[in-house]
C-alpha cells in the first residue's frame, strides 16, 4: 500500500512536469478500475468507454489542480463517479436504452472473467440487480464491493458523511439480497 502511494506520488510529479510518458502510464495503470466503475454504473460498454476516456482527459487537463490531499486513485474514482451520476441524471439517459438489456447479460469484459461466477443466469441476475439499484446506492455498492474502497475513501469520493455511506451500502445490500433470493441456497 505504501509502495503504491509512493508510485502515485511519482506519477503525479511526472504528470505535472509534463513527462510525455506519464499520461500513458496513468491510463494503463487505472484504465480497468475507471472503466469498471463506469460500466457497472451505466451498464453500457460504449458509454462506459466514453466516460472513462473523459475521466483521463480531465485528469490530463487539470493535474495542476490536484492538491495531493487524497490519493490519485481516489481522485480518479471521484471524477468517474461524478461523471457517471451526471450522465445518469440526464433526461436522455433516463429513457430506457435499446440494447441495455443485452449488455446486462454480457460478462464483465474478458473471455475468462468468471472464475467464481459462471456465465449464466446468476451472473446476469446479479448485474441486473446492481443495475436496478437507485443510482446513489449503486455507486456505493460498486465502490465498496466491486472496487474494494474503504468507507472513508467512499465518503471522500462521493463527498458524503461516513454514516450516509454506511446506511446506503446497507440498504443496497439488503435490496440485492432480496432480488437474488432465489439464487441463494
Partner 1 sequence: MTHDEARDLFSARADDALTAAERRGLEAHLAACAECRREWEGFARTVGLLRAVEPARAPTGFVDRTLAAAGREPWPARLWRRLFVPWTVKLPLEVAAALLVAGFAVLIYERSPELQQAAGRRVAAPPAADALREGQATGPASESGTRARELADAPRPSGELARAPRPLATDRLEARRKAERPLAEPKREAAPATREAPRRDEPDARESSDVAGLFRKEQSERAAGEPSRDQATAAARQGELPAAAVLRLATGDPVTAGREIEGLVMRLGGRVLGRRQTDAGPILDLAVPEAAWPELRRQLGALGPLSLEHEPAGTDGTVQLSLRLGR
Q: According to CB under 8 A, which one of 5, 6, 13, 57 is a site residue for partner 1? A: 57
CB hemisphere CA count around 138 (13 angstroms): 23
Tell me how far the alpha carbon of residue 31 is from its chain's centroid: 11
Least Å distance, CB 91 to partner 1, is 26
How many chain residues are in contact with partner 1, going by CB under 8 A? 57
For partner 1, the closer CB: 8 or 123: 123
Label residue 184 exposed, middle or buried (CB < 10 Å: 0-12, 13-18, 19+). Answer: exposed
Residues 96-135 as x/- pattern, contact with partner 1 by CB under 8 A: -----------xxxx--xxxxx----xx--x---x-----
Coil/strand/helix, residue 57: helix
145 belongs to the binding site for partner 1 (CB under 8 A): yes
Label residue 138 exposed, middle or buried (CB < 10 Å: 0-12, 13-18, 19+). Answer: buried
Least Å distance, CB 44 to partner 1, is 12
42, 84 Cβ separation under 8 angstroms? yes
107, 114 Cβ separation under 8 angstroms? yes
What's the DSSP call for residue 64? G
Least Å distance, CB 93 to partner 1, is 19
31 belongs to the binding site for partner 1 (CB under 8 A): yes
User: Which residues lie near partner 1 (CB under 8 A)?
Assistant: 16, 18, 23-24, 27-28, 31-36, 39-40, 45, 49, 52-53, 56-57, 60-65, 107-110, 113-117, 122-123, 126, 130, 141, 144-146, 148, 151, 166, 169-170, 173-174, 176-177, 180-181, 183-185
Amino acid at each position: 500500500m505504501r509502495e503504491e502511494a509512493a508510485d502515485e506520488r511519482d506519477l503525479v510529479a511526472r504528470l505535472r512536469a509534463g513527462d510525455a510518458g506519464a499520461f500513458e502510464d496513468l491510463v494503463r495503470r487505472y484504465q480497468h478500475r475507471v472503466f469498471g466503475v463506469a460500466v457497472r454504473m451505466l451498464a453500457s460498454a460504449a458509454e462506459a468507454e466514453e466516460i472513462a476516456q473523459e475521466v483521463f482527459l480531465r485528469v490530463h487537463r487539470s493535474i495542476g489542480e490536484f492538491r495531493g490531499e487524497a490519493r490519485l486513485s481516489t481522485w480518479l474514482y471521484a471524477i468517474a463517479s461524478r461523471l457517471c451520476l451526471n450522465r445518469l441524471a440526464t433526461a436522455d439517459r433516463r429513457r430506457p436504452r435499446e440494447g441495455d438489456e443485452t449488455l446486462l447479460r454480457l460478462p464483465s469484459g474478458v473471455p475468462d472473467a468468471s472464475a467464481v461466477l459462471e456465465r449464466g443466469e446468476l451472473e446476469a441476475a446479479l448485474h441486473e440487480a446492481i443495475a436496478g439499484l437507485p443510482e446513489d446506492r449503486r455507486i456505493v455498492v460498486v465502490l465498496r464491493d466491486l472496487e474494494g474502497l474503504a468507507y472513508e475513501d467512499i465518503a471522500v469520493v462521493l463527498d458524503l458523511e461516513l454514516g450516509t455511506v454506511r446506511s446506503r451500502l446497507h440498504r443496497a445490500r439488503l435490496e440485492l439480497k432480496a432480488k437474488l433470493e432465489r439464487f441463494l441456497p
